[in-house]
Amino acid sequence: MNRRFIVSLIGILLFYGGLSLYLGWNGWVYLSALYDWNHAGIYSVIVALLALAFIIGRVGQSTLLKPIAGPLKLVGSYWFAILEYGVLLFPVADIVALLLKLGGAERDAYVLGTGSIALFVLLILLIVGTRNAWSPVIRHYKVQIPKQAGGRQKLRIAMASDIHLGTTIGNGHLHRLIHKVKQINPDIILLPGDILDDDIEPFIRHKMADTLGKLDAPLGVFAVTGNHEYIGGKVPEFVAAMDAIGIRVLMDETALIADSFYIIGRKDKASAGFRAGNAGRLPISELVSPLDNSLPLIMLDHQPSDLSNAAMNGIDLSLSGHTHRGQMAPNHLVTKRLFELDWGYLKKGSLHAIVSSGFGFWGPPVRIGSRSEVLQIDVEFVPA
């Protein structure tokens, strides 16, 4: 590790610790007024465990802590949501409480009153956000591609990105995916990355491949890697596991489907990272150069960061995920600045670009301002 990385890591941990301390202090003031509770030591340990639960659970997945790693990671994930919305709500509550105090209000009014309102809003956000995360919807798009596709006039795609299978999301949520895909009744199923959350071990241990393998469509199931597959560092094992259940992972590869259209699958940008051996990925131009571009070109690229190149190289339909649409508002304000298209549909020249908010989630099983979704994309081929 270089010095710059260590300094950055220490800075992040101090910042995170400071925010956790601020939330913990607010909780202590409220509980002390509510119950006249004086066990500061016990309370401090509880807050510290909540703040560290995700890290302990993530590291403990491959250690003796494996039996409790999942629950710890889930608790720690919810703490992240509490932290984000606490940082937004508590300063407002603190300012109102201070104004009430200066105005001569009783302590119960300015501590318990403002604290209870903030706690109520926080609980509503967590409840609604949990429902949004675990109750996926089908979102429908229609596009026209001005090309012939053999004898095919129409194509129905079911797309699910960012499933994030691991210690939190497992077979239960996978069954919801299978149910939604059956409702769509697609010709082909496309999975543009982040099928795994990080470590492949929970995926194998809980036999999630057996459930994922129930995805079925006449023209097959195709996938690409996302950044999270590279975080786990087990991409070859992941590709082999997918191949064993009939899901083809395209690693900078193309597939001609029924002599009608091409599926182009890009490695994720993270393939150039240290855990991927710095192999990198091929440019779009190199992937499409040997293809018959009179046929429709459909590309899976996990991150929607290369839309201009996709348009310039004749891609007709680009499918991505990655952004989660920020997952928890107001994070969508960040993703909107980072990506030309962070969610939904964009027409760029002859390119139709679609970005999903994802079927799963990262970290907290909470979605505010976004929704877990499966996409139904109806493509009509209309020769120019």
Residue-wise pLDDT for 253-301, tens only, equals: 999 999 999 999 999 999 887 555 567 899 999 999 999 999 999 999 9
* Confidence at residue 61, expressed as pLDDT on a 0 to 100 scale: 74
151 pLDDT tier (thresholds 50, 70, 90): confident
Query: Domain containing 305 — which CATH number?
Result: 3.60.21.10
Across the chain, which distance is largest between two alpha carbons, in Å? 80
Instruction: Choose one of 97, 132, 167: the last residue of a domain.
Output: 132
What would the mean pLDDT of 69-85 be, rounded to a whole number? 94
What would the mean pLDDT of 328-346 be, rounded to a whole number? 97
* Confidence at residue 343, expressed as pLDDT on a 0 to 100 scale: 98
CA dist., res. 7 & res. 12, Å (int): 9
Question: In whole angstroms, how far apart are CA 54 and each of 25, 132, 172, 215, 379?
Answer: 21, 21, 21, 31, 42
Q: Do residues 53 and 100 share a domain?
A: yes
Q: Do residues 243 and 331 share a domain?
A: yes
Q: Do residues 225 and 373 share a domain?
A: yes
- pLDDT tens for 10-43 read 999 999 999 999 999 999 999 988 887 778 889 9
By DSSP bridging, strand 351-355 and strand 317-320 are parallel
3-state DSSP call for residue 139?
strand
Q: Do residues 113 and 168 share a domain?
A: no
- pLDDT tens for 216-242 read 999 999 999 999 999 988 999 999 999
* Confidence at residue 38, expressed as pLDDT on a 0 to 100 scale: 77
The residue count for the chain: 384
Q: Do residues 161 and 239 share a domain?
A: yes
What would the mean pLDDT of 39-66 be, rounded to a whole number? 87
Q: Do residues 214 and 156 share a domain?
A: yes
Q: Do residues 375 and 265 share a domain?
A: yes
Q: Do residues 46 and 170 share a domain?
A: no
Instruction: Choose one of 112, 132, 152: the last residue of a domain.
Output: 132
CA dist., res. 104 & res. 120, Å (int): 25
* Confidence at residue 106, expressed as pLDDT on a 0 to 100 scale: 87
What would the mean pLDDT of 299-321 be, rounded to a whole number? 97
**Domain tally, the chain:** 2
- The residue among 21 and 63 whose pLDDT is bigger is 21
Does the pLDDT of residue 302 top 90, yes or no? yes
CA dist., res. 5 & res. 2, Å (int): 6
Q: Do residues 99 and 168 share a domain?
A: no
Q: Identify the domain containing residue 288 by its residue range.
A: 138-381
Other Cβ atoms less than 10 A from the Cβ of 190: the count is 25
Instruction: Choose one of 79, 111, 132: the last residue of a domain.
Output: 132
- The residue among 327 and 69 whose pLDDT is bigger is 327
In terms of C-beta density within 10 A (0-12 exposed, 13-18 middle, 19 or more buried), how is residue 152 classed? middle
Does the pLDDT of residue 374 top 60, yes or no? yes
Q: Do residues 171 and 93 share a domain?
A: no
In order, the DSSP letters of 78-123 are HHHHHHHHHHHHHHHHHHHHHHHHHTT--HIIIIIIHHHHHHHHHH
Which DSSP symbol is given to 220?
Answer: -
108 pLDDT tier (thresholds 50, 70, 90): confident
Residue whose C-alpha is closest to residue 190's, from 380, 3, 377? 377
* Confidence at residue 70, expressed as pLDDT on a 0 to 100 scale: 85
- pLDDT tens for 83-95 read 999 999 999 999 9
Other Cβ atoms less than 10 A from the Cβ of 203: the count is 24
The pTM score is 0.93
By DSSP bridging, strand 373-381 and strand 154-159 are antiparallel
Q: Do residues 66 and 160 share a domain?
A: no
Q: Do residues 200 and 304 share a domain?
A: yes
